[in-house]
Amino acid sequence: MHGDDLPLIPEFHQPGDPARVGIRVPFVRPALPPAELVARAAAEIIGSGRLTKGPYCDRLEAAVAQRLGVRHAVAVSSCTVGLMLVYRSLDLAAGSCRSRRSPGDPCGVASLESLSRFGVAKTSSRSEPLGEVVIPSFTFLAAPAAITWNNLRPVFVDCEAATTNVSPQAVRAAITPRTVAIAACHNFGNPCDMVALEALAAEYSLPLVVDAAHGFGASMHGRPVGAGGTVEVFSLSPTKLLVAGEGGIVATDCDCLAHFVRMGREYGNDGSYDALFPGVNGRMPEMSAAIALEGLAQLDEVARRRNAVAEAYRRELEDLPGIGFIEPLPGAVCSYKDFSITVDPTRFGMTRDGLRRVLAAHGVETRAYYNPPCHRQTAFEHFYDRSRPLPVTELLAARSLALPIGAHVDAAVVRGVCDIIANAKQTAS
C-alpha cells in the first residue's frame, strides 16, 4: 500500500474545504463516548441549569479516585492549571500537614516539609525565584510554566533514551539545599521509574510532582498510573485517552494538598469570600465532566486498542534499520497517548525532519515532540545551566517522531503509514 492508497478519512476530504484537502491521515482523532450518552447528560445539565460546580463533576471525581485508588481526585480546568495550583499549594499544605500530623494521619506527608523553608506562596511577589524544582527538559512546556508561574526555578536534567522519561541518577545529581521538589512526567503514557523517584523523594524529604497528562490508560504491575508520588496531575484534552474537551485531574492522598487545590480553583476563596492566597478560576464545567464520565466507561477498551495499534506499528517497523522505539519498564503498560519512534539519520539514511516531510507529502500528519526541548525555549532558556549537558534530551528532540494514533487508526492505516516509511528508507539508501 502506498500513500495514495491510504484510507480516506471522510471529513478530511470534503470538497471545497481547502484547509483539509491533502490530509489523508490526521495526527489524532479523539476517542469520544457515544454521542447519545453525552446528549442524555447534556439534556440533564441544561434542564438543571447547573453548568458548573454540579453533580457530574462530583461523580467524575469519585469515579477517578476509585479507579486510581487515591483519597482525592480534584477536577480542574486543565492539567496546566492543576500543576500551577499544586506548586502554589505545596507549602500551604506542608504547614497544614505538620500541624495535623499524628500517628496514622494520612496527611503526614513528611516529604512536604522542605517547602516551608522557602515559603513559596508567601514570597511569590518577590522577583527572585527562591526554590528549585528538578525537572526533565524532555517534557511538555506546561510543566516548567507551572513552576515559573509560582516563582520557582526549573533545574533541567536529562532523561533516559529507552523510556524517554527523567533519569533518576540525573535527578540525584541536581538536588541541592535549594531544591524544593522533584518533577517527573510519564512521557507518551510510558510510566516513569516511580520506584527510584519515590525513593529519592523520601531520601531527600522532597515532594514528587508527577505530570501524568498522558497517564490515563497506563499501568504499572496491573495498577493504573496516578497514585504515585505526592501528587499526579492528568490532562483530559482531546489528544488524551480520556477526554473532557479541556480538563485536568489532580490525584493525591494528601488531604491538605487536595484542600488547597480545591480552594485554589475557586480563586483561593475559602468559602468566606476571603482569598487565603491568590487562586484562579480552575473549575471543570459540568459538560466537560459529563463527557469524561462517559469516557471513563470505555477507557480500558481505548487503551487496549491503542496498545494493539502500537504493537502493529512496531511489527511493521522493527526490521527497518535506524528506527527506534520506546521501551517500557518491566511491568509497565504504556497508554500510547503517542506512538513516538526515533529516526537515526545515519542508519535510516534520512533525518527525522526529512521523513516527516515525506509523510506529509502523502497526507500523513505527524508531530515532533518535544522539539525544541524546554531548556531551549524562549521562556525557560535563561534557567538552563550550560554546565549540565543534556545529550539524551538533545538526541531525542532531534530524532523523535510521533505517528498518527487514535480512534481513526486501524490496521490498514498502520500498514499504509509504514509502507511510506519503508519506501522512504529504500529511496534514501
Ligand X SMILES: Cc1ncc(COP(=O)(O)O)c(C=O)c1O
- The piece of 17-25, 31-39, 72-80, 113-121 that touches ligand X (CB under 6 A) is 72-80
- Would you say 265 and 74 are in contact if contact means Cβ atoms under 8 Å apart? yes
Minimum Å distance from CB 145 to ligand X? 9
Residues 6 or more apart whose Cβ sits within 8 Å of residue 269: 263, 275, 276, 279
- Measured from the CB atom, the residue of 118 and 138 that comes closer to ligand X is 138
- The piece of 208-216, 223-231, 344-352, 386-394 that touches ligand X (CB under 6 A) is 208-216
- The piece of 74-82, 148-156, 254-262, 271-279 that touches ligand X (CB under 6 A) is 74-82
For position 183 contacting ligand X by CB under 6 A, the verdict is no
Minimum Å distance from CB 278 to ligand X? 19
Minimum Å distance from CB 60 to ligand X? 15
Minimum Å distance from CB 422 to ligand X? 29
- Measured from the CB atom, the residue of 139 and 151 that comes closer to ligand X is 139
315 CB-contact burial (10 Å; exposed 0-12 / middle 13-18 / buried 19+): exposed
For position 335 contacting ligand X by CB under 6 A, the verdict is no
- Measured from the CB atom, the residue of 116 and 137 that comes closer to ligand X is 137
- Would you say 188 and 216 are in contact if contact means Cβ atoms under 8 Å apart? no
- Measured from the CB atom, the residue of 118 and 370 that comes closer to ligand X is 370
For position 79 contacting ligand X by CB under 6 A, the verdict is yes
Give the C-alpha distances (Å, rounded to integers) separating 407 from 14, 154, 238, 294, 411. Answer: 19, 36, 11, 16, 12
User: Between residue 125 and residue 154, which ones bind ligand X under the rule CB under 6 A?
Assistant: 139-140, 142-143
- Measured from the CB atom, the residue of 78 and 114 that comes closer to ligand X is 78
Mark out the alpha helices in 101-237 (DSSP H runs): 113-118, 142-149, 168-174, 194-203
- Would you say 90 and 258 are in contact if contact means Cβ atoms under 8 Å apart? no
- Measured from the CB atom, the residue of 355 and 402 that comes closer to ligand X is 402
Judged by CB under 6 A, which of 9, 78, 158, 254 binds ligand X? 78
Minimum Å distance from CB 248 to ligand X? 5
Q: How far apart are CA 159 and CA 396, in angstroms?
A: 9
Minimum Å distance from CB 180 to ligand X? 20
Q: How far apart are CA 238 and CA 226, in angstroms?
A: 19
For position 68 contacting ligand X by CB under 6 A, the verdict is no
Q: How far apart are CA 96 and CA 106, in angstroms?
A: 12
For position 56 contacting ligand X by CB under 6 A, the verdict is no
- Measured from the CB atom, the residue of 213 and 417 that comes closer to ligand X is 213
CB atoms within 10 A of CB 110: 12
For position 80 contacting ligand X by CB under 6 A, the verdict is yes
Judged by CB under 6 A, which of 150, 237, 342, 393 binds ligand X? 237
Give the C-alpha distances (Å, rounded to integers) separating 159 from 134, 152, 192, 207, 231. Answer: 12, 21, 10, 19, 21
Backbone angles phi, psi at 174, to 5 degrees: -95, -5
- Measured from the CB atom, the residue of 213 and 355 that comes closer to ligand X is 213
- Would you say 146 and 174 are in contact if contact means Cβ atoms under 8 Å apart? no
For position 363 contacting ligand X by CB under 6 A, the verdict is no
For position 213 contacting ligand X by CB under 6 A, the verdict is yes
- The piece of 147-155, 158-166, 211-219, 360-368 that touches ligand X (CB under 6 A) is 211-219
Q: Which residue has the cell 509497565?
A: 332
DSSP state of 77: S
Backbone angles phi, psi at 95, to 5 degrees: -60, -45
Task: Give residues in contact with ligand X (CB under 6 A).
Answer: 78-80, 139-140, 142-143, 185, 211, 213-214, 235, 237, 248
